[in-house]
Structures are given as C-alpha cells and as structure tokens.
C-alpha cells in the first residue's frame, strides 16, 4: 500500500499506458482521478478500477488542450480533497509526420503535449504544496524527446520541451517537498503505436513496419507493455523514489543506449 490515502490525477487514463498507471496507483491504495477527453470511457474505467483494487477512482471529462478545462479540474480537486499528492501528465498525441504540415496541426500537437503539461502543473502546484512533502509530478516524455524522431520531428520538439520543463520545474520546487520526473517510453504496445510511424492503425503493412523497426532499433527485441510503464510511474509516485527528482527515465528496452 505504497500510496495509501494519497490523491492522484492521471490525464488520458481511460486506456493504454494511462489506464495501466491508474490501476497501479489504485492497487497501492490511492484515490485516482482519471481525467480524459472521453468522459464515458473515464467513468467506466474508474468504476472498474474501484471494483478491482484496494483504492478508488473517479472519472472526469477534461480536454487538456484547453486551459479552462484544466483550471476547472484542479479547482474541483481542491474543493473535494484539499490537496494533491501525485500529478501524472500523461496526455499526448504523436503529431503529424514530417514537417510538411499546417499551422493548425503544429498548434494542436503543442497544445496537447506541451501546453497541457505546463498549465496542469501550474494549477496543481498549490495543491501539491499541501501534500506534506510527498508531492510528485510525473511527465510522460519519450525517447524521441531525447534522441529525435525521423517520423515526427514535431513530436520530438514537444517531448523535448516537456523534458526540459520538467527539469526546470524540479529545480524550482525541490525545497517545497515536490519532486518532478519524466518517463520516456520507447515503442509500447498500445493502439496508438502505429500512429507514431505516421500511419493509421488499419493501414496495410503497418504491423510489419513496426516489427522491423523494433527488431532493428530495440535491443530487447520487443515493444514494451503498458504495465511496464505503470511500474515505472509507481516508483516515481511513491516514497521509493524520495531522493529522485529532475530525471528523464527511459523505459525503452535499451533504445537510447545504442
């Protein structure tokens, strides 16, 4: 029960890595707020997590690209709980492939990947300061924020920005009992994985393309699983990482070690 009686927010947690992380937090005793664009899916996920874990969960609708939605989310958490122990800024999109893209496509990726992380952290910080020195902010970065993506330079730009924001934020709040770190996943088995190659999930040949990329670029020889990201998030959320802050942690089967 590493997170007993703690309050956590995980954005984009109705499915995939976010869902696995919400489950892991609740299994360790946390109350998890699942903030997702899809309210129906968020509520359903929260109900299933509450029924199957030692913790509890609630699902709320939140468009993380909208500052007013984020402010309302943390106002609600403040009213209901008075404090926040864990913020996991997980929401993100691959962004358009290449650089031949419109300003709207560029702006949408920046809004979801970077702006959301900044403003969610801004609104969460006063609540994290009330967490008795146990505040933890986790960002989902990416290995492509460390080494660059040939498929989507825009994605690399946004995730590189998230990682550097995390580092600066970690320094600014260290003396206030708040830690900040980033998880940098490599290829992970989720429905979104094909989109990182600039394709749709149904495009013919995409499975073979991913398989070839993993075989060539990932020393472990396989994509990761959502539960492996959740395990890393649990470490960073809990007291097990009490002296860890400002770290961008690759969880990537050795991709960035090549």
Q: Which domains does the chain have, with CATH numbers?
A: 7-188+225-252 (3.40.50.720)
Neighbours of 2 (CB within 10 A): 16
- The string of DSSP letters for 83-131 reads --SEEEE-------SSS---HHHHHHHHIIIIIHHHHHHHHHHHHHTTS
210 Cβ neighbours under 8 A, 6+ residues apart: 187, 193, 194, 197, 223
The predicted structure's pLDDT at residue 199: 55
The predicted structure's pLDDT at residue 204: 58
Q: Tell me the mean pLDDT in the region 216-223.
A: 93
Residue 146 has pLDDT above 70, yes or no: yes
Q: List, in sequence order, every residue forming a beta bridge with 237; answer none if it has no partner.
A: none
Residue 162 has pLDDT above 80, yes or no: yes
Does the active-site annotation cover 155?
A: yes
Q: Tell me the mean pLDDT in the region 71-77.
A: 98
> Is the entire prediction scored with pTM above 0.85?
yes
Q: Of 155, 165, 169, 255, which is the active-site residue?
A: 155
The predicted structure's pLDDT at residue 164: 98
60 Cβ neighbours under 8 A, 6+ residues apart: 33, 34, 35, 36, 39, 42, 73, 76
């Amino acid at each position: 029960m590493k997170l007993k009686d703690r309050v956590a927010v995980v954005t984009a947690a109705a499915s995939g890595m976010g869902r696995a992380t919400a489950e892991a937090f609740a299994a360790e005793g946390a109350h998890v707020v699942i903030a997702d664009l899809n309210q129906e899916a968020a509520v359903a996920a929260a109900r299933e997590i509450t029924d199957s874990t030692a913790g509890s969960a609630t699902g709320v609708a939140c468009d993380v690209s909208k500052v007013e939605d984020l402010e309302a989310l943390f106002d609600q958490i403040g009213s209901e709980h008075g404090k926040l122990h864990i913020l996991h800024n997980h929401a993100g999109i691959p962004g358009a492939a290449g650089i031949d893209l419109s300003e709207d496509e560029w702006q949408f990726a920046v809004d979801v990947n970077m702006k959301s992380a900044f403003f969610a952290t801004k609104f969460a910080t006063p609540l994290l300061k009330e967490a008795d020195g146990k505040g933890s902010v986790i960002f989902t970065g990416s290995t492509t924020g460390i080494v660059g993506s040939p498929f989507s330079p825009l994605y690399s730009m946004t995730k590189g920005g998230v990682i550097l924001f995390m580092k600066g934020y970690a320094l600014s709040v260290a003396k206030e009992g708040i830690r900040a770190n980033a998880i940098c996943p490599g290829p992970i088995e989720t429905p979104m994985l094909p989109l990182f190659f600039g394709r749709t999930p149904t495009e013919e040949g995409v499975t073979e393309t991913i398989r070839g990329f993993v075989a060539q670029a990932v020393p472990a020889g396989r994509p990761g699983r959502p539960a492996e990201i959740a395990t890393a998030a649990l470490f960073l959320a809990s007291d097990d990482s009490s002296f860890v802050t400002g770290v961008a942690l690759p969880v990537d089967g050795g991709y960035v070690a090549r």
